[in-house]
A and B are shown apart, each in its own frame.
Chain A
Amino acid sequence: METKKIVSYSIPIIFVALLSVIPFTQMGSLVPILYELFLWIVLVQSFNIISGYTGYVSFGHVAFFGTAATIVASMVGFGIPIFLSIPIGGIGAVLLAVVIGYPTLKLHGAYFAIAMLSISEAMAVLVLYLYPYGITLPPGLYDPLMTYYLMFALAIVATVVTYLIDKSKFGLALISIREDEDAASATGVDVFKFKIMAFMISALLAGLAGGIAVWRATYTEAAGAYGVEKTIEMIAMCMFGGAGTVTGPIFGATVLYALEYILWVRLPFLHLIIFGVLIVATVLFIPKGVIGVIRKKFPKLRKVLR
């Protein structure tokens, strides 16, 4: 029992240790790829909290990413230090979540999905109108190593937060909302409060990721920051890995990002077609995702693969 515990704790620690020294080794060229992967893990976990656990599918999740990126970029333009701007960008995303969530989370899940779809479109149009040429950060800010570690840390934080939610009563409340909202409300769960809290946590993670991403890219523009393909990839990765699990988003993000990376070299844009097919196939055949299938086949792994 003791050795098992040691093994299951040491695997993630070894991973973290390896990934933190990678920039200083021969494999330093992997850093940009790993950075992208961490970005995806954060976004997918963020989507997972509101959509996987709570069951409210956010079809425009990229709105938080893009809005925070825009806020951070314009604040840095005013001379506010980047370390201050990123948290403010995150708070901006949370405020946006409250504004959207307050009217829509009270209603049926479908209305929420529709509202998210149109808000990301509306925000993209608004940002394009305000900054038609995008925003470029002042020169000299680019710091690949710092952004790598920040995104890495954020990916860990996002996963830990998801793990804590999964273990806690809060997570249980969210799952009960997903399974049967009326029943949850009847048994005394303050449905609306939990939904909006989950939505705010989710928006905060996506917003912080947006802030770090704009630092890395030193540039943001509406079409890129609010790209529909980001939401598509988030949903595909989350569904494929397993929505409503801790490890599913990591698995989904890793596999699909690798697939995308390989395909991009030869056949750009083909991956989005494949992602569409993957979403349909996952919904039809493995609604609980790959992790869900593994957990069903090997019940012993259930404790490790949360």
Chain B
Amino acid sequence: MGGVYGLLAMGLGIIFGVMKIVNVAHGEFVMLGAYASFWLFYFSSGFINPFLSLPISILIGFLIGLIIYKFIVQRTIKAPELTSLLLMFGIGIFAANSALYFWRSEYRGIPFTLPSLSIGIATIPLVRLSALILALIITSLFYLLFTKSYIGKAIRAVAQDRNAAALMGINPIHISMLAFGLGIALAFGVGSLITMIIPAIHPYMGASLGPLSFCIAVLGGLGSEKGAFIGGLIIGLIESMAGLFIEASLAPAIYFIILVVVLLVKPSGLFGRG
């Protein structure tokens, strides 16, 4: 789960880093990604399993991100931070309640399992293991994209200094659009991965994932890819530990305490700049 959490915060971090938009609808996009996987599985009568639907879902997310950016977010790019915050909040409500209205509230899952692997006394379900491996692959791909490719460098340049990047011949509007698309694509990817781990998709699953992804992102440092990943691993571990030692249902309260402590001690997070 930790690897998936890292991806969750990474998508949030890309959008925040480049546009200073806090995407409070991130959880809702994860929910849509999970549903994308579910419907693909359902309508292909089981042919498109989560492994196959992952790239499709990421692509759908990318396109949706581009469209939302083009028609809605771009209008507020120069407005104060809180304007875009409210905007994303509205989009999230729309997404969650449309899903509730059209797809109803029942829990759905993809009946897709792989055998478990037994090493000594430890039993590792292969589906979860493959989800972790896929999360790691996506993370490294994105990391490479950010550090090695021209687009990645351009995105980081815009995140650092919008005007300076524009002076160097980078079109910040195009880069923002791309970054927004990538952020939403990551959210959709997380949604598809989650269908492998938890067989319970429902329209309001985004409501708890949203705050969770903020805790990870703030813990690791908003806008830092490495921080997001390590923050995800830490939160994933804490969640498992909470289940073992205290009470699994209390985990959100623990996230909040972590969030407050981080904000008090080091607001820029573990790996944040400045």
* Chain A 95-110 residues near chain B, CB threshold 8 A: 100, 103-104, 107-110
Whole-angstrom distance between the Cβ of B271 and the nearest chain A Cβ: 17
**Cβ of A115 and Cβ of B259 under 8 Å apart?**
yes
Whole-angstrom distance between the Cβ of B191 and the nearest chain A Cβ: 19
A residues in contact with B93, CB < 8 Å: 232, 272-273, 275-276, 279
* Chain B 71-109 residues near chain A, CB threshold 8 A: 72, 75-76, 79-83, 85-87, 89-95, 97-98, 100-101
B residues in contact with A104, CB < 8 Å: 260, 263
Whole-angstrom distance between the Cβ of A119 and the nearest chain B Cβ: 6
A279 to B89, CA, bound (A): 8
- Give B contacts to A, CB under 8 Å: 22, 24, 72, 75-76, 79-83, 85-87, 89-95, 97-98, 100-101, 204, 207-208, 210-212, 214-215, 218, 247, 249-253, 255-256, 259-260, 263-264, 267
**Cβ of A125 and Cβ of B94 under 8 Å apart?**
no
Q: Is the interface of A mostly helix, strand, loop or mixed?
A: helix
Say yes or no: is A73 at the interface (Cβ < 8 Å to chain B): no
A residues in contact with B92, CB < 8 Å: 276
B residues in contact with A128, CB < 8 Å: 249
Partner pick for B247 among A57, A129, A273, CB 8 A cutoff = A129
B residues in contact with A131, CB < 8 Å: none
B residues in contact with A129, CB < 8 Å: 247, 249-250
**Cβ of A118 and Cβ of B214 under 8 Å apart?**
yes
**Cβ of B98 and Cβ of A117 under 8 Å apart?**
no
A272 to B96, CA, bound (A): 9
Which chain A residue lies CB-closest to B261?
Answer: A103
**Cβ of A111 and Cβ of B267 under 8 Å apart?**
yes
Partner pick for B85 among A57, A272, A276, CB 8 A cutoff = A57
A residues in contact with B97, CB < 8 Å: 269, 272-273, 276
Say yes or no: is A283 at the interface (Cβ < 8 Å to chain B): yes
**Cβ of A125 and Cβ of B24 under 8 Å apart?**
no
A107 to B255, CA, bound (A): 19
A126 to B242, CA, bound (A): 14
Q: Is the interface of B mostly helix, strand, loop or mixed?
A: helix
**Cβ of A110 and Cβ of B81 under 8 Å apart?**
yes
| Known A-B contacts A111-B267, A126-B250, A129-B250; A118 and B91 likewise in contact (beta carbons under 8 Å) | no
Interface size class of A (residues with CB under 8 A): 35 or more
A273 to B255, CA, bound (A): 29
Whole-angstrom distance between the Cβ of B211 and the nearest chain A Cβ: 4
B residues in contact with A117, CB < 8 Å: 24, 210-211, 214
Whole-angstrom distance between the Cβ of A82 and the nearest chain B Cβ: 29
**Cβ of A228 and Cβ of B89 under 8 Å apart?**
no
**Cβ of B215 and Cβ of A118 under 8 Å apart?**
yes
**Cβ of B218 and Cβ of A114 under 8 Å apart?**
yes
| Known A-B contacts A228-B207, A279-B93, A280-B94; A115 and B260 likewise in contact (beta carbons under 8 Å) | yes
**Can you sample 16 A-B contacts with CB below 8 Å?**
A55-B80, A57-B82, A59-B24, A103-B260, A104-B263, A109-B85, A117-B211, A125-B252, A129-B250, A239-B86, A279-B89, A279-B90, A279-B93, A283-B76, A284-B75, A284-B76
**Cβ of B250 and Cβ of A125 under 8 Å apart?**
yes
Partner pick for A125 among B80, B81, B249, B259, CB 8 A cutoff = B249
**Cβ of A118 and Cβ of B98 under 8 Å apart?**
no
Which chain A residue lies CB-closest to B84?
Answer: A283
**Cβ of B256 and Cβ of A110 under 8 Å apart?**
no
Whole-angstrom distance between the Cβ of B105 and the nearest chain A Cβ: 9
Partner pick for B22 among A110, A239, A273, A277, CB 8 A cutoff = A110
**Cβ of B86 and Cβ of A235 under 8 Å apart?**
yes
Whole-angstrom distance between the Cβ of A108 and the nearest chain B Cβ: 8
A275 to B267, CA, bound (A): 33
**Cβ of A118 and Cβ of B89 under 8 Å apart?**
no
* Chain A 56-98 residues near chain B, CB threshold 8 A: 56-57, 59
